[in-house]
Structure 1
Amino acid sequence: MTSATQPSPAAGPFASAPGEATLDRISAVRVSLVRLPLHAPISDAKVLTGRQKPLTEIAFLFARISTEDGHEGIGFGYSKRAGGPGLYAHAKEIAPELIGEDPSDTGRLWQKLVWAGASMGRSGLTTQAIAAFDIALWDLKARRAGLPLAKLLGAHRDSVRCYNTSGGYLSMPVEQVLENTSLSLSRGIGGIKIKVGQPDTRTDLRRVRAVREHIGDDVPLMVDANQQWDRTVAARMGRALEEFDLTWIEEPLDAYDSEGHAALAAALDTPVATGEMLTSVAEHTDLIMNGAADFIQPDAPRVGGITPFLQIMALADHKSLSMAPHFAMEIHLHLAAAYPRATWVEHFEWLEPMFNERLELRDGRMIVPSRPGLGLSLSDQAAAWTSDETEVSG
């Protein structure tokens, strides 16, 4: 692990001029690269088709922002498989841009950070690195207000329906998947999602049937093909899966095939869900405006944080879409609670060792915590998994 303290840059043209409305200033920014090991290698359809190797760890970029008045916020982004060191390197480069700024100016600071790395683009790695800072700024804002983030944004509910994904991977035999579903439901989780997309579609259908018979007709069930079907297979499998009364079919096609998703959504009774792999508001706009999803699944760390996520929420609401944010329940619980239409949040217990707090599950729902901000603090285990760290101060 390395640590460095760098001086802040001179105020540039995008720095806010001092005024009565500027109540505080950012005094320090710390960025950390944390590697979370998984208990066992995880495989979905991308592994079975040979496109990826089994997932063994997740790299997290943490940002901690402190102000002159003693306020602090925590945010994070992540990368599965390659990309973590790249996120960290870009974050180190742009972190000095925040020193001396008013932490309340979330929209302007997002623009400042994206323009700092604009030659690398406005999606992908550059915006995912910004996400950690943006989420930390929103966490700080809510903490300073003494409110849970959901309440700061304007909550429509104090709990959100939740479903489990981590117990339904293709690397698990069906007997283990059934055992995992029972455990999830006993913990208070409301729905079950399992992975599909095997080379032999009959195997997928047998696994789905086994899970449906195991949990009964009243428990919501979803499937996720992780982009591994072409249009023909997706149409055939969509029709074959209709009998199981699924809540949705997730990522049946390539993430950028908005035309194909739109045609499939129009042809099937089962709702189509997608969007998790997209990394900008513009990409989500194309998806939404083409009618390519019944459930939109944005991921705040992937699209650049809460600031752009709120833009996606507004457009999805305008188009009367349901929403089920991808992964990172610790962040997305608050955002889902602030969405006016039907929402789900995805339960993954993988991140729990990195935080001192736990989210409460009750009667099929995840409860919005009463703690200010995201309601999270980093654990000693997160510190032990930190492989590199840099601090910038004024």
Structure 2
Amino acid sequence: MTTQHQPKTGANDNIASIRLSSVYLPLATPISDAKVLTGRQKPMTEIAILFAEIETEGGDKGLGFSYAKRAGGPGQFAHAREIAPALIGEDANDIARLWNKLIWAGASVGRSGLATQAIGAFDVALWDLKARRANLPLAKLLGAHRDSVKCYNTSGGFLHTPLDQLLMNASKSVEKGIGGIKLKVGQPDCAADIQRVETVRKHLGDGFALMVDANQQWDRPTAQRMCRILEQFNLIWIEEPLDAYDSEGHAALAAQFDTPIATGEMLTSVAEHWDLIRHRAADYLMPDGPRVGGITPFLTVATLADHAGLMIAPHFAMELHVHLAAAYPREPWVEHFEWLEPLFNERLEIKDGRMLVPTRPGIGVSLSGQVAGWTREQAEFGAKR
């Protein structure tokens, strides 16, 4: 009989303190996609951010974050606050072991959803700490395949945006050097969707990268019709045409149409992504690092996706995903969303349709002075050095 022993390193690597912050980032304009137009949700006016700041006995620090839209912010903070003490005194190097410790600490509430999203902030902080200590950008620590990633803009194409403004937004994105534009579709009036896509395609030209996103608002017959009609516009992908958990329906669309199918952003576990992968339900898988539970599970999803020959296009949180996409073997896309920029002092650089991977250690971001004014609640654990 063998006994498993916990890996040992110096005491300086032990986690000495953790600070959690619940921050609410206001949005300049209420945001509406198809879920609002179909009455399922209200316009989004703010984003709840869960920050985790971790420091070791030796003084190494890491910053991580997760987020919630419309609802869930207080729940994420409450769960993180409850499980955070389990990390005090632990070796910060053992990231995978600590992820498992945290998921089992809250096992009664499951291994997906809010529970994993809360863990995501800790996991990202630990990877940031490890990369900073190595004096490497996160992408380099993971093993980068490239120093820039194709990027597309979503924030200018929401359904609350009038068509003339949408065209102006698209032009501004092109001028900034962004390589693709994504439009929201999924309105109750399908003809209005088609008109918007057709108008933007003419505006950008046939060769410019254009994507659409239905945000899960079509049923299977509508998705069949819309995918058939949208084939003519030479789209990079059609995103979330069906419910996020309809693997069989997405697989049927992926098999039938030339235009790639993209989905996965709403999933919150490796197991849920595996269901998409094994059904061949996506040509582009869209994992979200914070939602899936951090970098540790994201890397598992990426390995499974690569083995299946899939492309990836991580959802939201470009400050993190530019690093993770750079470490993916197949050429990915990263979603350009400037919404989170006020939280950080640093900015990502865009050039010739691509987002440059930061050369700063770790994720390469630090909290801006504005964050304090948006902070509603904090909790601290352990002893500050």
Q: Tell me which interval the TM-score lies in, with the shorter structure as reference length.
A: over 0.9
TM-score when normalising by structure 2: 0.97
Q: Which residue of 2 aligns with 1:347?
A: 336
Q: Which residue of 2 aligns with 1:9?
A: none
Q: Which residue of 2 aligns with 1:382?
A: 371
Contact 1:135 1:305 survives alignment (8 Å): yes
Match of 2:55 among 66, 80, 84: 66
Query: In structure 2, what is the Cα distance between the partners aligned to 1:328 and 1:197?
Result: 23
Residue type matched to 1:123 in 2? S
Q: Which residue of 1 aligns with 2:209?
A: 220
Residues 114-263 of structure 1 aligned to structure 2 (within 5 Å): 114-263=103-252
State the shift of 1:15 in Å: 9.7
3-state DSSP class of the match of 1:32?
Answer: strand
Contact 2:155 2:338 survives alignment (8 Å): yes
State the shift of 1:383 in Å: 1.5
3-state DSSP class of the match of 2:321?
Answer: helix
Query: In structure 2, what is the Cα distance between the partners aligned to 1:23 and 1:321?
Result: 41
Q: Which residue of 1 aligns with 2:320?
A: 331
Residue type matched to 1:171 in 2? H
RMSD, aligned CA:
1.3
Query: In structure 2, what is the Cα distance between the partners aligned to 1:350 and 1:34?
Result: 14
3-state DSSP class of the match of 1:351?
Answer: helix
**Structure 1 pair 15–192 and aligned structure 2 pair: CA distance change class (3 A):** farther
Query: In structure 1, what is the Cα distance between the partners aligned to 2:378 and 2:11?
Result: 29
Residue type matched to 2:350 in 1? L
Residue type matched to 2:138 in 1? L
Match of 1:39 among 28, 31, 35: 28
Q: Which residue of 1 aligns with 2:66?
A: 77
Figure out how many residues of one structure are paired with residues of the other and give that number. 381
Query: In structure 1, what is the Cα distance between the partners aligned to 2:197 and 2:10?
Result: 56
Query: In structure 1, what is the Cα distance between the partners aligned to 2:304 and 2:5?
Result: 30
State the shift of 1:26 in Å: 0.4
CA deviations on 1:194-251 (whole Å, 9 max, x unpaired) are 1000111010000001100011111100000000000100010001001100000000
Contact 2:49 2:73 survives alignment (8 Å): yes
TM-score when normalising by structure 1: 0.95
Contact 1:16 1:102 survives alignment (8 Å): no
Contact 2:14 2:91 survives alignment (8 Å): yes
Q: Which residue of 1 aligns with 2:290?
A: 301
Contact 1:110 1:134 survives alignment (8 Å): yes
Q: Which residue of 1 aligns with 2:382?
A: 393
Residue type matched to 2:275 in 1? D
Residue type matched to 1:213 in 2? K
Query: In structure 2, what is the Cα distance between the partners aligned to 1:28 and 1:16?
Result: 21
3-state DSSP class of the match of 1:167?
Answer: helix
Q: Which residue of 1 aligns with 2:79?
A: 90
CA deviations on 1:355-384 (whole Å, 9 max, x unpaired) are 000000000000001000000000011121
Contact 2:12 2:56 survives alignment (8 Å): no
Match of 2:263 among 252, 274, 277: 274
Contact 1:16 1:101 survives alignment (8 Å): no
Contact 2:12 2:57 survives alignment (8 Å): no
Contact 2:9 2:91 survives alignment (8 Å): no
State the shift of 1:342 in Å: 2.1
Residue type matched to 1:82 in 2? A
Identity %: 69
3-state DSSP class of the match of 2:155?
Answer: coil
